[in-house]
Amino acid sequence: MNEVCFKNIDKENPSSLATYEATGGYSVWRKILHGELSPEAILGELKTSGLRGRGGAGFPTGLKWSFMPRNQDGQKYVVCNSDEGEPGTCKDRDILRFNPHSVIEGMAIAGYVMGATVGYNYIRGEFMEPYYRFEEALKEAYDAGLLGCDIGDSEVNFDLHTHLGAGAYICGEETALLESLEGKKGQPRFKPPFPANVGLYGMPTTINNTESFASVPDILARGGQWFADLGVPNSGGCKLFSVTGHVTKPANFEIPMGTPFSELLEMAGGLREGRTLKAVIPGGSSTPVLPAEDAMKMTMDYDSIEQVGSMLGAGSVIVMDDTTCMVAALTRLAHFYYDESCGQCTPCREGTGWMYRVLKRIMDGQGKMQDLDLLTSVQDKIMGNTICALGDAAAMPVESFIRHFRDEFEYYIKHGKSMVTKVNSDG
Amino acid sequence: MVDIEIEIDGSVVHGHSGESIISIADREGIDIPRFCYHKKLSVAANCRMCLVDVEGNPKPQPACSTPASAGMRVHTNNEKAKASQKAVMEFLLINHPLDCPICDQGGECELQDVAMEYGSDVSKFNEGKRIVADKGIGALIQTDMTRCIHCTRCVRFGAEVAGIVEMGATGRGEELKIEPFLSEGIQSELSGNMIDVCPVGALTSKPFRYEVRSWQMNSVESVARHDLVGSNIFTQTHKGKVKRVVARDNESVNETWISDRDRFSYEGLTNENRALTPKIKVKGEWQEVSWEAALEAATSGIKKNSAEAFGALASKNATLEELYLLQKLTRGLGSENLDTRLDVANPSSTSALETTISLAELEAIDHALIVNSYLRLEQPMINHRIRKATLNGAKVSTVNSLTFDFNYRVANSVLSAPQNTLATLSGVLKALLEANSLALPDYLKDTKVDQAQIDIASTLSAAENAVVVLGEQVNSNPCADQVAKLVTQIAKASNSKTLNASATGNTLAAEKVSFKPNGGLNAAQMFTANLNTFVLLDVYPTYDCVDSTAAIEDLSRDDAFVVAINSFEDESVLGFADVILPLASFYETSGTHINIENVAQSYGASVKAAGDSKPGWKVLKVLADLLELPGFDYTDSPQVADDALSLSPNVATSEVDIIAMEVPNIATVWQYTPYASDVLTRHAQSLQQTQIGQISEAVVSAATAKILELSQGDCYKGVPVNINETVAEGCVFVHTNQARQR
Amino acid sequence: MISDKAKQQIDTWVAKYPAGCQSSAVMEALKIVQAENDGSLTSESIQAVADYLEMPVISAYEVATFYENYNHKPVGKHVIRFCHNISCMLNGADDLISYLETKTGVKIGEVSEDGLVSVKKVECLGACVGAPMFQIGDRYYENLTQQKIDEILDGLK
């Protein structure tokens, strides 16, 4: 546990340059500055490592980097997505607070591999403590001569800046993030063109999640195969999981891919006294909910979670026990997507509000039986029809909650109140 | 671009690689529903209506943003595509009000049309519909944003075409709102196009509001004649009245846009000041009479006096046919006293400048030097082409006496009062010739060259496709002919094209029929020659003449017999005229406009002439017949146009010497707002209420104001003084909607 | 409209972006101006930011209305931003929000009479392992209980 991004988390001053360097930090970057590591070698190791994007989509990182037109003239950019906001997710916040140098080194390496000399770390606007920590680390790195122009006479250039968000979940979508970085509303762009061709300020750009960048230095220091072997086939390495909700010790855990869910649940202290597991959202609010028995079957890797009917997403495990009213939980999630839809494209702008209102009506005791089919039909009409994934993200919880817990919704509609007597609260 | 084959709905079609599916489908006549896509605007892909099934893609793809690639197989109406299209339609309708019966867009609404095909009869939406409080955006566009479907065409139009980013999409999610920042009104001179691009009834024509249902109107093809472009339009009429004007596509002329002036000027047609009945003045009193009586009075008045004492003055906006017949009549009588150049300070030195560039070519220029022009307001559609060029990197330089608000960046801007313009242009020419080691003509020997002039010259030299544009403010310059000569020389020395925008409307038709004196008197001379007979064709001296006071005084002489063939009555005309023959106005007569490319565009009458007024060509034909002049046996206006177009204009190329004439130390540049540029627009109410229509200021620098003893808020020639430093020293720039005063 | 100090702060952000891309700094510029203006934006301040960054005012207004961190009505000296998303909800956020409303006498979206606090319900703040939580200024307060809320409120001046 805690071997990569969190390896210094229990040390004193975990975020300092000294701590980072004491555990091998910047050794890969120094090799690059000494001309001892080629971009091709790095790409090879990354592909071997099986590292997949940690922001949720799970796209192989090595492959993504290889899409950049490395030798094309002109400015290129590396962008880190620290706009963490998927409900249930809070891992990047801890990386920024406790291991900021791994992000800096990962981004610098990425810049070198892709021929990008400027990077931006987009940190969500509310993350002020992580922002200050990251800025401190950035200053340390500049002061130590690790960043800048012609670093240590190496002819390698890399400048890194932070950019702060201002409160919009959608900016976690990579093209919305680019729009936001350009000082616009965070409205996702349609693709193609992809950011690797037309990205920030119209130039080739690669965007990765904080955890993905933070994982890169150790992968290269210890070898792609070492990382791959930590995990299981098709899910290389270890990954951070945020376990929240009805567990006694909610926390972030960096564990090998393929760890059984039951073990992760135990690490988080298990359920509270006298409670039983009802449901789990395994990858953040956008991934389909799983009933307890399906959840208990899964191991924490891409394939296993897909087999039981959901997605690993950002590794945000939301645990719900038998006191949870699923109607209320879904209504809350529906409100979230309704609130965070950018409004650009029709199905999401109109559909998220529609779903929320129907659910709200059910919660107010005004539901009708046909509302359940209506909700299913509305989510189905959003699904696949929008510019970005927020539409699908709004649709999937609705579909899965109703499919797995239809009786609870029917009860609520019939009786105007929840089937669960102690509702959603431990307060 | 490589030609490729793709398959749409089973048929093999051709396109270019990278071209969008929707553009290929449109060319092939395959119908794909859409709201946000507009061929002239950037792709937004936000409405999702054009989702189609592209084989190999799990998700449906938007036809507007998906580039075609060889061998692609597209289905626009299989089950998957239909399901997505119907889903989007359902979402668009849930919050759209069901107020079609009171919506002006009803019957021509894209949402309504597509809903007929893709919508469902029953709505499953039982929640409250969204209501949007909207801001007013001025006198021309009626907003009803509850109907908005957020396609952002209007937003993109503003940013991309109008070049003034006024409308935006604010808020987010369901609260997304299309609105301007403040409600002071849209400022663009092209704003009305937002009405045309709006697919629903969110933005509709304010003057047209609740007038008539769209399907009750006839759409008549016509041509706008307010400027040098002759934008193609449809006049939409109901019960003999023009109710609305909309753009008619003509890629080589106005593409798909029209200016607000062309769109809203029709309102003037029903203004209470229209001249509706023939009148004669008997012992100082006006009497309404029959056409026969009025024509008889006109004829006998004209016959009374000699041809030498006869003068004809015509509006620049008259039709080719009217100008042709009036010049034929004048010359038939034996007079050479005829002119349209009433607003030119010195008609004997008019700017003679050939236009050597087409509208389409303007888009491909890499540099424009604009001289004496606020082109954006003077010639909106010409300016639009230059703006398109600037979007591709073209640079713009200006030599003007005031700093104007162009909708593109001006790289080099030289402020120059009229009396200094010759020196400025001479400097540019000298810098050009010296840079290219060419011989200097004598008149440049003593010319001093400054850095700003060198900058313009070097930008011109560096350009491969430059154009020099001369605008209408040159008419305030008594040395306009010399300015034009320098412009010609600058163009020659820099291998640039030229564009003469110094006279607007149907000026090129006047040129075509030589509606100017060949040895006779010009407009200014006519008012000092004690002429006995004047025929005015839609001329209103208070607005149209440089020295309106002198003109009116002369026309008011007891021994001056004035026949006014006018579409409007105004007080001064009633004062000096002896006969008023009511003239059919724009859209009430057939006619021909000759545009900047020398393209003659003919049109028929859209509506019957108001009251007892008659088309000018008929009036002039009958008048000529009564005057027993030969060669007027026309039975329709196309015959007149044929004769007119067969003329070879008398292009007298007189050598112009560059010798600066004496000009006052402090010059006045007089420019009307575009909505005071001709008699019809001046009577169009809504245009007058816009920000552009309300402009009236005499801009003067502090130093010049001191010399003239003017203070802020004083009046200069009747126009409020505005002292600031955006204006050249040594001149007063009057930009106004008010009539000229001495 | 914008103080020299604020302009300096804005300039440090502008310096991060390529020449001509100064509008990238609009989000921070609006925050800086908002902070100077007792926590909320006005038409004038949005106009001033747009002018300073040489961008169309409507574009600045779009940004100001798109992101949640901007206020368009006066707010309290301390804005309590209470997360009510799923992990916090599962851990009793709703009851605590009601408690906070009662305790301060301030309803969601309103400002206390003395202008000291206003309360806002917000979406996930990305501190779900510390649920329930809220944010005041730059700081996160996690694992909230009624007692902890009392202490925090007592500390607000």
Rounded Cα gap, residues B119 and B113, in angstroms: 10
Closest residue in B to C46 (Cα–Cα)? B181
Does the pLDDT at position A327 exceed 50? yes
Rounded Cα gap, residues B168 and A364, in angstroms: 36
Rg (C-alpha) for chain C, rounded Å, is 17
DSSP state of C16: T
At B184 the pLDDT is 73
Rounded Cα gap, residues B586 and B572, in angstroms: 22
Most confident range, picked from A414-423, B117-126, B475-484: B475-484
Mean of all residue pLDDT scores within chain A: 96
Structure token digits, residue A36: 């001892």
Least CB-CB distance to A169: which of C28, C123, C140? C123
Is any Cβ of chain B less than 8 angstroms from the Cβ of A184? no
pLDDT in tens, C81-115: 999 999 999 999 999 999 999 999 999 999 999 99
From chain B, pick out residues whose CB is under 8 angstroms from the CB of A353.
173-174
Rounded Cα gap, residues A164 and A172, in angstroms: 12
Whether the Cβ atoms of residue B156 and residue B119 lie closer than 8 Å to each other: no
Interface probe with A: pick from C86, C100, C102, most Cβ of A within 10 Å: C86
Whether the Cβ atoms of residue C97 and residue C146 lie closer than 8 Å to each other: no
In the structure, what pLDDT confidence band is assigned to residue B76 with cuts at 50, 70 and 90? very high
Mean of all residue pLDDT scores within chain B: 95
Does the pLDDT at position B619 exceed 70? yes
Please, what is the Cα angle at B82 between B78 and B84, to 5 degrees? 125
Q: Which residue has the higher pLDDT, B657 or A317?
A: A317
Q: Which residues of chain C have pLDDT under 70?
A: none
- Test A163 with C89 for CB contact under 8 angstroms: no
At A425 the pLDDT is 46
Give the H/E segment covering residue C58: helix C57-66
| B67 CB-near residues (< 8 Å, 6+ apart) | A192, B17, B18, B19, B20, B21
The ipTM assigned to this model is 0.97
Chain C (129-148) residues lying within 8 Å, Cβ to Cβ, of chain A = 129-132, 135, 137-140
Closest residue in C to A182 (Cα–Cα)? C24
- Test C62 with B182 for CB contact under 8 angstroms: no
Average pLDDT over residues A73-90: 97
- Test A345 with B43 for CB contact under 8 angstroms: no
Average pLDDT over residues A67-80: 95
DSSP state of A289: P
Backbone angles phi, psi at B731, to 5 degrees: -155, 160
Least CB-CB distance to A338: which of B46, B60, B174? B174
Residue C65, min C-alpha distance to chain B (Å): 5
In the structure, what pLDDT confidence band is assigned to residue B460 with cuts at 50, 70 and 90? very high
- Note the helical H segments in B407-450: 418-435
Does the pLDDT at position B1 exceed 80? no
CA torsion, ordered A172, A176, A177, A183, to nearest 10 deg: -140
At B732 the pLDDT is 97
- Note the helical H segments in A253-389: 261-267, 292-297, 302-307, 326-340, 346-363, 370-382
At B654 the pLDDT is 65
Average pLDDT over residues A413-420: 95
At B651 the pLDDT is 60
Does the pLDDT at position A359 exceed 70? yes
Rg (C-alpha) for chain A, rounded Å, is 22
Does the pLDDT at position A424 exceed 70? no
pLDDT in tens, B158-208: 999 999 999 999 999 999 999 999 777 789 999 999 999 999 999 999 999
DSSP state of C111: B
Rounded Cα gap, residues A387 and B59, in angstroms: 11
Is any Cβ of chain B less than 8 angstroms from the Cβ of A374? yes
Does the pLDDT at position B652 exceed 80? no
Rounded Cα gap, residues B489 and B483, in angstroms: 10
Pairing of β B73-75 and β B3-8: parallel
In the structure, what pLDDT confidence band is assigned to residue B98 with cuts at 50, 70 and 90? confident
Does the pLDDT at position B499 exceed 60? yes
Does the pLDDT at position B557 exceed 80? yes
- Test A126 with C26 for CB contact under 8 angstroms: no
At A427 the pLDDT is 36
Rounded Cα gap, residues B350 and B477, in angstroms: 9
Chain C (36-65) residues lying within 8 Å, Cβ to Cβ, of chain B = 43, 46-47, 56-59, 61-62, 65
How many interface pairs between A and B have CB atoms less than 8 angstroms apart? Answer: 93
Residue A229, min C-alpha distance to chain B (Å): 33
Average pLDDT over residues A112-139: 98
- Whether pTM > 0.80 for this model: the answer is yes
Average pLDDT over residues B334-362: 91
Rounded Cα gap, residues A252 and A263, in angstroms: 14
**B385: nearest Cα among B597, B599, B674:** B597
In the structure, what pLDDT confidence band is assigned to residue B660 with cuts at 50, 70 and 90? low
Structure token digits, residue B601: 């565009």
Closest residue in C to A84 (Cα–Cα)? C126
pLDDT in tens, A268-316: 999 999 999 999 999 999 999 999 999 999 999 999 999 999 999 999 9
Average pLDDT over residues B554-564: 97
Average pLDDT over residues B391-412: 96
From chain B, pick out residues whose CB is under 8 angstroms from the CB of C43.
181-182
At B663 the pLDDT is 67
At A426 the pLDDT is 43
Does the pLDDT at position B622 exceed 60? yes
Which chains are adjacent to chain B, needing at least 3 Cβ pairs under 8 Å? A, C
Rounded Cα gap, residues B730 and B663, in angstroms: 11
Whether the Cβ atoms of residue A160 and residue A119 lie closer than 8 Å to each other: yes
At B346 the pLDDT is 86
Please, what is the Cα angle at C142 between A269 and A336, to 5 degrees? 90
Q: Which residue matches tokens 């290219």?
A: B436
Structure token digits, residue B717: 């020639």
Within 13 Å, how many C-alpha atoms sit on residue A16's CB side? Answer: 7
Whether the Cβ atoms of residue B517 and residue B526 lie closer than 8 Å to each other: no
Rounded Cα gap, residues B407 and B414, in angstroms: 17
- Test A244 with C89 for CB contact under 8 angstroms: no
- Test B92 with A377 for CB contact under 8 angstroms: no
Residue C136, min C-alpha distance to chain B (Å): 24
- Test A166 with C91 for CB contact under 8 angstroms: no
Does the pLDDT at position A364 exceed 70? yes
How many Cβ atoms are within 10 Å of B285's Cβ, its own excluded? Answer: 7
- Note the helical H segments in B95-208: 110-118, 153-156, 193-197
pLDDT in tens, B475-496: 999 899 999 999 999 999 999 9
In the structure, what pLDDT confidence band is assigned to residue A21 with cuts at 50, 70 and 90? very high
Whether the Cβ atoms of residue A92 and residue A239 lie closer than 8 Å to each other: no
Whether the Cβ atoms of residue B324 and residue B643 lie closer than 8 Å to each other: yes
From chain A, pick out residues whose CB is under 8 angstroms from the CB of B46.
344-346, 387
With H, G, I as helix, E, B as strand and everything else as coil, classify residue B41.
coil
With H, G, I as helix, E, B as strand and everything else as coil, classify residue A206.
strand
Rounded Cα gap, residues B682 and B676, in angstroms: 5
At A1 the pLDDT is 82
